[in-house]
Amino acid sequence: MLQIILQANKFKNNIAIESDNQQYSYQNLLDASQLAAMRLLNGTFDLNEQRVAYMVNPGFDYVKTLWSIWQAGGVAVPLCLTHPLPSLQHVIEDSMVSIVVISKEYEIIVGAYLTEKNIRMIILDDQDAQISEAISVHLPNIASDRMALILYTSGTTNKPKGVVTTHNNIQAQISTLVTAWEWNEKDHVLCVLPLHHVHGVINVIGCSLWSGAICAFIPQFSAQVIFDLFNQGRLNVFMAVPTIYFKLITYFESLEKEVQLGLEDKMIKFRLMVSGSAALPVSVMEKWEKISGHTLLERYGMTELGMAISNPYNGARKAGYVGNPLPGVEIQLMNEQYEVIVDDQPGEIVVKGNNVFKEYWNNPKATIETFTQDGWFKTGDIAVIENGYYRILGRSSVDIIKSGGYKISALEIEEVLRALDQIEDCAVVGIDSEEWGELIVAAIVLNKEAVGAFDENEISTLLAQSIASYKKPRKYLVMNELPRNAMGKVVKNEVKKLFVS
């Protein structure tokens, strides 16, 4: 039996999920996912790693569907609920899906396409009425080294690739975080993250349900709803991306002082608050600490790894740093020749461990290229170790700008820009330049008070007080908002296009 199912059996009477104004126990989840697995099997013994995509709303149905795919021997392929059909087609066709499970409302988006492609479609609203058609069979015994999940990379730098993780990989990713962040069955977490990425699937759903805790869902992001739930005083764990924290801060600042004080009293009682999936601006970290009493725990991970580095649960959390390697995860910094760096110089993060994914789906060339000859996974992220903590400088492809003979961290420049009163947000990139190699440019979002009064010379003068002149942007573009993907990450290749169009 799969470890996640064995874990759930320890907590049968506990509440597992809160969604749609209902509570579901672990027993409810086990029973429903087993029935759903039988329906997927449709009289066969084992799906034998057939890919099963699902486009299911957050909540009980989502988890039931995920667990049913695993128990039937399938490989789960979650689809983004907000992607247009062409993006969904890429995932469905690339992963060679044979079954797609959907919530009823998504039939209008994918129904005709699935019918045309002769792909079996299961609509969840119809499941209870048709479950009697399923043939009762014993569920297969699933080896832990079998494929479990294909998550597609966010595609910030190129076309999304399917990242294949096994049940062993998932077990390692979850159990490591459960230990490091001290998850327990008294925890009550709110899931506000997209569920086609590792952050929501592993860090929130995986860890909470592994531990016998309660995982609550809301249908869509709403700052008001989130704070209303905070105010109830039952939640004690919260995880989000920097963009969400920024939106929550903005909403909080609009509230009456009396309401703010009440929320502050509730938030200080939380056990853990975490930020990830994108670099956490120091300004956001400091503002959240002021209103919640919590120093956000920032960590480092990616689709291919789950989590690899984390600030400590107990101990000092440093703004701008992601902490130290998690137990069982090996980390090195290497140079461009993939030789280990022995001094305090920046280098690319490379990783080994049971948490590391198996392969890129149907892409052996990309798989081979992303590992060193002795098996280290190349993350493409550049970091430096300072006072024992890792600090991420950025992705080698988009955040490390080679200008005038220097290697410059775009993230460092962004932090300095965000500290200026006029600037609400920004994205720094390098664009091709015959003179400089890459020219440093910045797309910026101004604070309301500064709109219409942007003075590039004034910004340049202020920057000169904090960074070297060769790091200053040479061009600026004022925008209403920055282009982002579903996880809130700025898509820097789209920013580059704005400067060369």
pTM, rounded to two decimals: 0.85
Domains and CATH numbers, the chain: 3-142 (3.40.50.980), 400-500 (3.30.300.30)
**Coil, strand or helix: which one is 138?**
coil
**Coil, strand or helix: which one is 367?**
helix
CA distances for 68 relative to 13, 86, 96, 143, 214, angstroms: 20, 27, 19, 16, 19
Helices 410-418 + 456-463 axis angle, to 10: 110
Contact 313, 331 (CB under 8 A): no
Contact 118, 129 (CB under 8 A): no
* The pLDDT value given to residue 155: 52
* The pLDDT value given to residue 482: 93
pLDDT tens digit at each of 501 positions of the chain: 899 999 999 999 999 999 999 999 999 999 999 999 999 999 999 999 999 999 999 999 999 999 999 999 999 999 999 888 988 999 999 999 999 999 999 999 999 999 999 999 999 975 554 444 444 558 999 999 999 999 998 654 456 899 999 999 999 999 999 999 999 999 999 999 989 999 999 999 999 999 999 999 998 999 999 999 999 999 999 999 888 998 999 999 999 999 999 999 999 999 999 998 877 888 889 999 999 999 999 999 999 999 999 999 999 998 889 999 999 999 999 999 999 998 788 999 999 999 999 999 999 999 999 999 999 999 999 999 998 899 998 877 788 888 877 778 888 899 899 889 889 899 999 998 877 888 999 999 998 877 777 888 888 888 888 888 889 999 999 999 999 887 778 888 899 999 986
In which order are the strands placed within the sheet that holds 15-19?
22-25, 15-19, 214-217, 188-191, 237-240, 272-275, 297-302, 306-310, 324-325
* The pLDDT value given to residue 62: 98
Task: State the pairing for strand pair 400-403/406-409.
Answer: antiparallel
Q: How many CA atoms lie within 13 A of 77 on its CB side?
A: 27
Q: Minimal CA–CA distance to 349: which of 319, 311, 304, 316? A: 304
* The pLDDT value given to residue 135: 47
* The pLDDT value given to residue 344: 83
CA distances for 336 relative to 349, 381, 386, angstroms: 11, 12, 20
Q: Minimal CA–CA distance to 33: which of 178, 149, 164, 131? A: 131
- Determine whether 365 is exposed, middle or buried from the number of CB atoms within 10 Å of its CB (0-12, 13-18, 19+): exposed
Contact 130, 101 (CB under 8 A): no
* The pLDDT value given to residue 44: 94
Q: How far apart are CA 494 and CA 481, in angstroms?
A: 12
Helices 242-253 + 282-292 axis angle, to 10: 50
* The pLDDT value given to residue 448: 81
* The pLDDT value given to residue 464: 83
Q: Minimal CA–CA distance to 492: which of 445, 438, 431? A: 431
Contact 193, 200 (CB under 8 A): yes
* The pLDDT value given to residue 500: 82
Radius of gyration of the chain (CA): 23
Q: Minimal CA–CA distance to 94: which of 157, 150, 176? A: 150
